[in-house]
Structure 1
Amino acid sequence: MVFHLARCSSTAIVSRKNQQTLVAVRAALSSSLCHSKLFQGYHNQLETKLTQTRNRSLHTSNKMGDTSVMAPAALKTKGIEKSVWVEFNQLALEVKPLNLGQGFPDFAAPENVRRALSRVCNDNENVLLNQYTRGFGHPRLVTALGKLYSAEMERVIDPMQEILVTAGAYESLFVAMMGLVNPGDEVIIIEPFFDCYDPQVRLAGGLPVFVPLRPSRVGTVTTSAEWKLDPAELAAAFSNKTKAIIVNTPNNPLGKVFSRAELEMIAELCKKHDTIAIMDEVYEWMTYSGETHVRMATLPGMWERTITIGSAGKTFSVTGWKLGWTIGPAQLLAGPKVIHQHSVYTCTTPIQEAVALGFEEETARRGTPECYFQALPAQLEVKRDRVVSILTEVGMYPIVPQGGYFILAYVRDIMNKIDVGGDPNESRDFRFVKWLSRNRKLQGIPPSAFYSQEHKNIGEDYIRLCFIKEDVNLEKAGEILKQLKLDIDAGNVK
C-alpha cells in the first residue's frame, strides 16, 4: 500500500488517505525494522509528491479564488475572535520585553508542591496515580478542598456532591456559563472584568449587562477601595431576565477587595431577583494589611445561590498546572458537571494528587508564618509597595491594590507627551502599551481590554502591571520608567 501510494499520480487536493499514510510511514521510520534505504526512499517519494500537490493546490486556489470546502466557523464565534492575551503574547515573542503583562510568577513555586508532583509521578507503588481518576475531582483532592472550605465557609461541604474540579478556573467559569445560562438570559458583569467573562456569556447564548466600578478621584495616587459601584446603577441592571452576576474579588485588574457592605448590597439584589452569584475568588489568599476577604457564600441566604471558583495556579503559584474548582450546592453544580463530563471529563491525576498533598500540608499549618497562604501575600505586599513607590516617582499615579498581584497606574499625563503612533482606531492605552513594549522593552497590559465597548473610556488612561515578579525584574522595570521620565523631561522621547 505504501509503495503504491508513493507512485500514484496525485489529484489537485491531497487525499486524507495519503495524509494518513504519510503519518504511518513516519511512525514506521522511527522503528528499527524500517531503516533500510529502500523503505526510506519510498517515504521520501511520498513526502515529495504530497508537497508538490499541496503547492499546486495553493497555486490553483490563488488563481481561482478561495476554493476551500471547509465549513465556516460557527456563528456563535463571530465577534469574539480577538484576545488581548494572544495579541500581547505574540508581541512579547517578537520584541522580547521585560514582561510585567501576563499574571504569572517568574520565581519558583513552593518546594512542597513541586516535590509532591515529582513524588507522585515516580510512585511505583500506586501506579494508578498516572491514570484516569474520578471525573468530577480526584477523591484525595476534593476531600482536602472540602476540609479547607468547610472551615472557610462555616458549613460542612460534601466533597463528592458540592465540589467540581476543573482544568483551571477558566474552565470553571466556562462550565458555569454553559451549564447555568439559557439563551436570552442576562448576566451582569462588573467592570473591569477578566476578559473571558463576556465571550463565555455570549457563547452560552446569554446577554451580558455591564455595570462599572467608578473612581472617586483620578490623576493622583488612590486605592482600589475608592472604586465603587453606583447602587442605583447596579439595581437598574437587574431584571426578570437576570440569571447571574459575576463578581471577581479580589478584582483583576483593579485589585479591589469588595467589602462586606458591598457584597451584602449585591446579595440583597440577588435574593430579590432570584439571581445566581458566580464568585471568581482565585486571588482569595492575596489580601494585604487591614483587608479581609469576605465570601459571598457565607452571607445569609446566599449559599444556595452562590458558586465559588478557586485556582491552584494562583494559590500555589503554578499557573501552568491549570487546575481549578467550583464549590456550591449540588443543584447549582448539576449543569456545570454535565458540561464538564462531556468536554474535559477529567483533569490530570498526578497534578490533582500533588495539589491535594499541598493543601493537606498548608491546611495543617494555617495561621503560622510558614503557611503559604500567609507567606505569599506578605511577600507580595512588599513588592506592591516598591512598585507603588516607583510609579509615584515617575509620575504614573498608582491605584494601590487591596489584593491580587496587579496594579493599575494612571498614565494619561505621560501619554499626552508621547507620539505613540499606531492605529488611531485603537484605544490609546493599547497604542501606549505597544509603544512601551517596542520602544522601551517593558510590557504591560491595556486595561480597556477589561471593559465593554460602552465603558472602555474608563480604562484608557491606565496601564496594568503585574508585580508577582522577582525583585530584580521590578527594579529593572523601575529603571526603564525612570529613564522614560528623564527623556520626556528632556524632550528626547524615541
Structure 2
Amino acid sequence: MSDQVQPLSPYAAKRIHGLQKNMWTEYAALALRTKSTNLGQGFPDFHAPDHVRQSLATATTSEKGRALNQYTRSQGHLRLVNALAKLYSPVYGWEVNPLTEIIVSVGGYGSLFYCIQSFINPGDEVVMVEPFFDCYDPMVRMAGGTPKGLPLVMKPGATSSADFQLDLKMLEEAFTEKTKMFIFNTPHNPTGKIFSRSELEQIAAMCVKHDVLCLSDEVYEWLVYDTSPPHIKIATLPGMRERTLTVGSAGKTFSATGWKTGWTVGPPELIRCLASVHGQSMYTCPSPLQEAVAEGLELEMSRLGTPECYLTSLAAELKPKRDWLSKELAEIGLTPIIPEGGYFLLVDAEPLGLNLPEDGRPEDCRFVYWLAEEKGIAVIPTSPFYTKEHEHYAKKVVRFCFCKEDSTLEKGAEKLRRWKASL
C-alpha cells in the first residue's frame, strides 16, 4: 500500500471548502494581540440574572442533583420542554406539544446543525439571507449542499436597520427547482433588522410555492426595542407551520452564552429527523443547565407584563447603551445604523475617507485590523457574513456590540474620543 497522501476527491473538496477558517478565532486573537477593548464579539460581559445562576447552583448541589448530575431525556429535559411549550403556545396560537414538537440542543449552533444535516443532501440549494450568521455557509457545505446568498439591499444613507430591505425580484430569482431550504434570522444578526409582516409574507409565499423548508433563526426574539416593529414568527403565517423550524437560545435569552443551551420548535415529522441526528451525535445535553433554564423560564413567565420580567427588561436595559454608543460613534464621523433588535450596531466607516493599503482583503477587514492595531478597539467586519459573490455589499461596514458593561463601553468611547482629538 502506498503511503503517499492521495488528493481529495472533488466531492470531498467541495464539502470542506471554506470550513478551515473561523472568523471568531481570527478576530478574538486580533483583540488579544492588540490588547483592544472588545466591542465586537456578541457576548455580554455582565452577569446573567441572579435567580438563573442560583438555579444552576441548586441544580448541582441539592438533593435533586443526584438525578440532575446524570443523563436526562435525549430530546430535552422534561421540565425544560414543558416550560418552552407553555411559553410558546400562546405566541404561536396553538398548543405546542413538548414531547414531539421541541428538541433541545447544544446551543443555537447545535439546532442549526441538526436542521441542516437532517435535510440537506448533495445537490440541494439553500437560500440564505445576507448578511448571515457566518456558520450557515459552512454547515450547508458540510452537508454537501450549495449555499445561495440573497443580499438585503442597504438604502443609500442608511441610518436604521429597517433600511436593509428585501428585494422581491431577487427573492423570486433565488428559488429554483433545486432549492431545499430557506434560512434567515430575525431579529437579524448583524444588522438588527426585524423583518416586517409584509417581508415575511413574501418569504412565506415563495416557500409554499416551491415546497421549501424554512429555518428561522430567532435567538434574539426577546431583544426588540420599543420603537421597533413587533417580532413575528414566520411559522404563524399561512402554510408555514408544517414547513418551519424555529431556533431559540437560552444563552441570548438569559445573557449566558456560555451555557450553550438552545432548542428547535417545529412539526413532529421534522423534529423526528432532528432527533435522529441528535441521538447519533450529541445524544443528550447537560441536565443541570436545562433544569436551571427551565426554572428561569417558569419564573419569567410568572412575571410577564411586569417591569421585572427579564424576557422584556433586557431590551429596556440595552437600549440606552445602544443609543449612547451610537452618539459616540457619530461624533467621531462614523455613521451608525440603529438596530431595531439584537445585540449589534452596524457602522458605516465610508464617510471617514480612510484609504487603507490594498492587501487582497475586503475593505471592512482592513479597517477592522487598522482600528485594533492603531486605536485599540476590536470590532467585527461584515464581509464574512456574505458569500464571496456578494461580499462587496459590506464595503466599510463593521459591527459593534453594545451588550457590555457601561465601563467597557466607556473605555471604548474614550479611545474614540482620543482618535477624534487626533484628527
Report how far residue 126 of structure 1 moved: 4.5
Report how far residue 378 of structure 1 moved: 0.2
2:418 is the alignment partner of 1:479:
no
Which of the two has higher C-alpha Rg?
1
2:52 is the alignment partner of 1:117:
no
2:390 is the alignment partner of 1:455:
yes
Q: Which runs of 5+ in 2 are unaligned?
A: none
Report how far residue 460 of structure 1 moved: 2.3
Report how far residue 93 of structure 1 moved: 2.4
CA distance in 1, matches of 2:240, 2:150: 21
CA distance in 1, matches of 2:59, 2:5: 47
Q: Among 47, 62, 82, which residue is 1:108 paired with?
A: 47
Partner secondary structure for residue 222 of structure 1:
coil
Question: 1:261–1:348: structure 2 CA closer, same or farther, 3 Å change rule?
Answer: same
> 1:264-413 alignment to 2 at 5 Å?
264-290=201-227, 291-413=229-351
Q: Which runs of 5+ in 1 are unaligned?
A: 1-66, 489-494
Question: 1:70–1:370: structure 2 CA closer, same or farther, 3 Å change rule?
Answer: farther
Q: Among 141, 144, 153, which residue is 2:92 paired with?
A: 153
Q: Which runs of 4+ in 1 moved over 4 A?
A: 67-74
2:118 is the alignment partner of 1:179:
yes
CA distance in 1, matches of 2:312, 2:327: 23
Comparing 191-200 with 473-482, which one deviates more in the overlay? Answer: 473-482
CA distance in 1, matches of 2:415, 2:214: 42
CA distance in 1, matches of 2:369, 2:344: 18
CA distance in 2, matches of 1:332, 1:125: 33
> 1:27-106 alignment to 2 at 5 Å?
75=13, 76-106=15-45
Q: Among 127, 131, 143, which residue is 1:188 paired with?
A: 127
Instruction: Check conservation: 1:282, 1:310, Cα contact below 8 A.
Output: yes
Aligned residue number for residue 400 of structure 2: 465
Q: Among 161, 165, 172, which residue is 1:235 paired with?
A: 172
Aligned residue number for residue 377 of structure 2: 442
Instruction: Check conservation: 1:164, 1:327, Cα contact below 8 A.
Output: yes
Report how far residue 248 of structure 1 moved: 0.2
CA distance in 2, matches of 1:271, 1:326: 21
CA distance in 2, matches of 1:126, 1:442: 43
Per-residue CA deviations over 1:161-188 (Å, capped at 9, x if unaligned) read 0000000000100110000112111110
Per-residue CA deviations over 1:87-145 (Å, capped at 9, x if unaligned) read 01122222221001110001111001000000111012441100000111001100000
- Tell me the TM-score normalized by structure 1: 0.82
- Tell me the TM-score normalized by structure 2: 0.95
Greater relative contact order (Cα < 8 A, sep 6+): 2
Aligned length: 417
> 1:195-234 alignment to 2 at 5 Å?
195-218=134-157, 222-234=159-171
Partner secondary structure for residue 291 of structure 2:
helix
Partner secondary structure for residue 370 of structure 1:
coil
CA distance in 2, matches of 1:286, 1:222: 19
Comparing 69-78 with 378-387, which one deviates more in the overlay? Answer: 69-78
Partner secondary structure for residue 380 of structure 2:
coil
Report how far residue 417 of structure 1 moved: 3.1
Instruction: Check conservation: 1:153, 1:295, Cα contact below 8 A.
Output: yes
Aligned residue number for residue 191 of structure 2: 254
Percent of residue pairs bearing the same amino acid type: 49
Report how far residue 265 of structure 1 moved: 0.7
Which amino acid in the other structure matches residue 334 of structure 2? Answer: M
Report how far residue 215 of structure 1 moved: 1.2
Instruction: Check conservation: 1:246, 1:279, Cα contact below 8 A.
Output: yes
Which amino acid in the other structure matches residue 484 of structure 1? Answer: W
- The alignment's C-alpha RMSD in Å is 1.7
